[in-house]
Structure formats: C-alpha cells, structure tokens
Homo-oligomer: A and B are copies of this chain.
C-alpha cells in the first residue's frame, strides 16, 4: 500500500510551530528564546529545536546576540521603513500574478477568509484577526506560483508579527479596517492591476498602523 502521508521530520514541525507563535503574536519583541526552554515547552528533544531556531535566525525572525543568547528582535522606525519598501515591491507583484491565475473557487475561498477577518475584528479577537489576515494574504500569494517572492514575503511577515501583536494589544481591534473587499472585487472583475493596487494600499495602511509602536 502506498503511504499517503510523508511523515515530516520533527524539526520541521517545531519550525512551523514556532513560526506560528511569532506570526500570531505569542511572543513579544525582546523576549529571549532558549533552545532548552523551547524543547521543553514543545515536549521534544533539544536537537530538532536547535535546527528550528537556526532556520528562524537565518530568516531574521530571531536574532542571535553576541552572548549567544537568542531573542525576538524589536522593531524600529528604520527597520519598518526597510520592510515596507520590500513588502511594497514583493506583495503587490504576488497579488498581480495571483490575479492572473485566479479561479472563481479561489475568490470564494478568499471571501470566506475575509469574512473571518471581519468577524475577528468585530468580536475583538486579536489572535483570530492575525491568523485570518495572514491566511487571506498568503492564500492569495500562493496562487501566484512564485516561490521566491512568496518566501521573502513570509520572512517579512515574521519580522512584523510580534510588533503587530503589540500594537493590536494596545489599541484593540476597533481601529482596524478591512481593505480586502477591494481586492476580491478586483479579482471578480479579473483586473490584476486593481488587485495589485488594493494590496499595496492594504500594506501601506497596515504598516502605518504598526508604526505607532515602533521606538525611534
């Protein structure tokens, strides 16, 4: 019998788990991450935890300080500026490419995800908002079939995840606006250019929102 599920290695699982922790605000900028503590928290050995941490530091999601301590990097205005520059190049390009390959079935899925975003905002569920927002964007980006851009976008989201959590915690979800409607409408209209612009606008406003927390 064919084995349908290819068992993924432990370090891959841990990597995905910690990645989610960072993306969805379970960690805070400046928070130290120990290889031991991580292994213990997840309930696994230290070897796969090490490898997961290496991958995350390579992606810039964690930083390794000189005393070989590892922690979640904090955000600065300067870093935010760099991230915005690249996001505004990469993600609209992904959205444009996605729009060209998008099927009605995909747009419906995006609308479903967007409804989750709205719901989370209304209820004030920060974690739910972060997850739904991420899934909306990366379902769209996944349609683009552009792995390199996709991965760059992911590393940038890993960098803003913790800060986004902080600012949401401070100001709540009331100030959040959902700009995804414009994107799905452009997709229905089969208009890649408009989709691209909608995502660019969404990014600009998201980054403005995060800017409220960054130290100088």
Contacts and interface: CB of A to CB of B under 8 A. Distances in A.
A127 interface: no
Copies of this chain, count? 2
Nearest to A89: B89
A66 B148 contact: no
Contacts of A85: 89-90, 93, 149
A contact residues, range = 20 to 34
A209 B79 CA distance: 32
Interface string A27-68: 000000000000000000001001100111111100000101
A151 to B, nearest CB: 6
A147 B58 CA distance: 13
B51 A148 contact: no
Contacts of A104: none
Contact of A58 (B55, B66, B68, B83): B55
A68 B9 CA distance: 9
A148 B82 contact: yes
Contacts of A9: 68
A86 interface: yes
A148 B90 contact: no
Nearest to A47: B47
Residue of A47, A50, A83, A148 ringed by the most chain B CB atoms within 10 A: A148
A177 interface: no
Contacts of A78: 146
6 interchain residue pairs of minimum CB distance:
A58-B58, A55-B58, A89-B89, A82-B148, A54-B54, A51-B54
Interface of A: 6, 9, 11, 47, 50-51, 54-60, 66, 68, 78-79, 82-83, 85-86, 89-90, 93, 146-149, 151-152, 159
16 contacts: A51-B54, A55-B55, A55-B57, A60-B148, A79-B147, A82-B146, A82-B149, A83-B148, A85-B89, A85-B93, A85-B149, A86-B89, A86-B90, A86-B149, A89-B89, A152-B152
